[in-house]
Amino acid sequence: MTDETTQEPYACGCAGAPLPRRSLLAAWLALLLAPADAFAAGEPGNAANASTVKAPNPKAIRPQPGDTFAYLSGEAKDQKVMAADLKVGDPPRLVYPVDPATGTIRSGSRVNQILLIRTDPAALTAATAPRSADGLVAYSAICTHNGCPITLLNEDGRSVVCTCHGSRFDLADNGTVLTGPATRRLAGLSIAVTDGAVTVAGAFVGALGAAPSQQ
């Protein structure tokens, strides 16, 4: 009969050998504490999947601080928007933001269509004035009723009308709805004037596009 007090520790190279309780606990703790990406890295084909992840389309990125603007259409299409070219009483201009570092026009998304207009600075409300520049204001050009682009200046000189269904928005008062069927104001965009050019000073404020319940 073997003396258990002097017996050599049980050792076996087979995978099915039982582990001491302490080793089992240590193994479970290691599994629980391991970062999730450690498991993902070991999945078959993971490296290939990582290499095929597509970078964001630079043309669809939302306006970024420092972006300039380019005209969406007309004779000046794709040209830089200069503040001096926009006068009080002129119709709103549809523009796209432009990455000044690469010259990429961010025209890959409809919601990047921006309505730019110069209004009377004295008429701007307290909610609107901080994101304006010398009377210039910028809003999403996409009507919040059914997604039509807004291009028409109302005769009052401070509101715009969607020609699809007649919704009217007050540009001097935070894009507020004056006449339906739209029920949600236009999203505003903070702007500045830098070296004579109109530039983006902040992100959109407000929801973009048509309200889901109205589409």
Give me the residue spans of the domains in the chain. Answer: 68-214
What pLDDT is recorded for position 185? 93
Q: How far apart are the first and last CA of the chain?
A: 87
Q: What does pTM read for this prediction?
A: 0.71
pLDDT at 35 over 90: no
pLDDT at 69 over 50: yes
Q: Which residues of 151-173 are buried (b: 16+ CB within 10 A; e: fewer)?
A: bebeeeebbbbbeeeebbbbbbb
CATH number given to 68-214: 2.102.10.10
Backbone angles phi, psi at 141, to 5 degrees: -85, 0
- Confidence label for 194 from pLDDT (cuts 50, 70 and 90): very high
pLDDT mean over 45-52: 51
Lowest mean pLDDT among 26-35, 67-76, 202-211: 26-35
Query: Would the pLDDT of 34 be above 90?
Result: no
Q: Would you give the DSSP letter of residue 149?
A: B
Q: Across-strand partners of 118?
A: 136
Half-sphere exposure of 172 (CA within 13 A, CB side): 16
68 membership: H or E segment, kind and range:
strand 68-71
